[in-house]
C-alpha cells in the first residue's frame, strides 16, 4: 500500500507558539491532522507534522513524504546516518538539536519505506498550502484555548 503524506509546520515567533498540519492520502481516502504546542520552534513543528502523520499509519507502508522543510528532508536523507555514527554530534562537533524528534523519525523510518521529497514552500503547491492553513489554524486554536 502506498501512502502520500504532505506536511508543514509554522511558528508564531521562533521560538513561540507553533502548529503543524499534515495530509495523508491513500487512493481516494484523505485524512487531515493538525496540532499545536506552546514554546516551540518552526523546525520542531515541521518534524512533528511528519511524526504525527507517520504515527497515524496502522501498518507498514510505502510512503512518500512531501515537505517544504529542507531541514527535515535533508536531515532524513543526508545527515541522520552521520549523526547516529558520531553519537548524535553534528559536523561542528555540537549536540544535534531536536534529537528526541530525530530519534522518533528514525524509529518510524524502520517501520515504513519512506521517500522524502522537498518542495518550495508558499509556491502554489496545493497540499503544501493546505498543510500551512492547518498549521496556522492550530496555532489560532491553541491561542484561543490558552486565552480562557
Q: Specify the number of domains making up the chain.
A: 1
Tens-digit pLDDT profile for residues 122-131: 899 999 999 9
Q: What is the pLDDT of residues 12-69, one digit of tens each?
A: 999 999 999 999 999 999 999 999 999 999 999 999 999 999 999 999 999 999 999 9
Domain ranges, residue 116? 2-146
Catalytic residue, from 19, 68, 75, 127: name it. Answer: 68
CATH code assigned at 14: 3.30.420.10
Tell me if residue 35 is catalytic: no
Query: Annotated catalytic, 124?
Result: no
Scan for cell 498543510, then name that residue: 131
The model's pTM is: 0.96
Annotate 28-44 with b (16+ C-beta within 10 A) or e (fewer).
eeeeebbbbbeebbbbb
Amino acid at each position: 500500500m502506498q501512502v502520500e503524506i504532505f506536511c508543514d509546520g509554522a511558528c508564531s515567533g521562533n521560538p513561540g507558539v507553533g502548529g503543524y498540519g499534515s495530509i495523508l492520502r491513500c487512493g481516494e481516502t484523505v485524512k487531515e491532522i493538525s496540532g499545536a504546542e506552546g514554546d516551540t520552534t518552526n523546525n520542531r513543528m515541521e518534524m512533528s507534522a511528519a511524526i504525527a502523520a507517520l504515527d497515524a499509519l496502522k501498518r507498514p507502508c510505502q510512503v512518500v513524504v512531501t515537505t517544504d522543510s529542507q531541514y527535515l528532508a535533508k536531515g532524513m536523507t543526508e545527515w541522520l546516518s552521520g549523526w547516529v555514527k558520531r553519537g548524535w554530534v553534528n559536523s561542528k562537533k555540537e549536540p544535534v538539536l531536536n534529537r528526541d524528534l530525530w530519534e522518533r523519525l528514525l524509529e518510524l523510518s524502520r517501520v515504513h519505506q519512506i521517500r522524502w521529497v522537498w518542495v518550495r514552500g508558499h509556491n502554489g503547491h496545493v497540499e503544501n498550502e493546505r498543510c500551512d492553513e492547518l498549521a496556522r489554524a492550530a496555532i489560532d486554536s491553541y491561542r484561543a484555548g490558552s486565552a480562557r
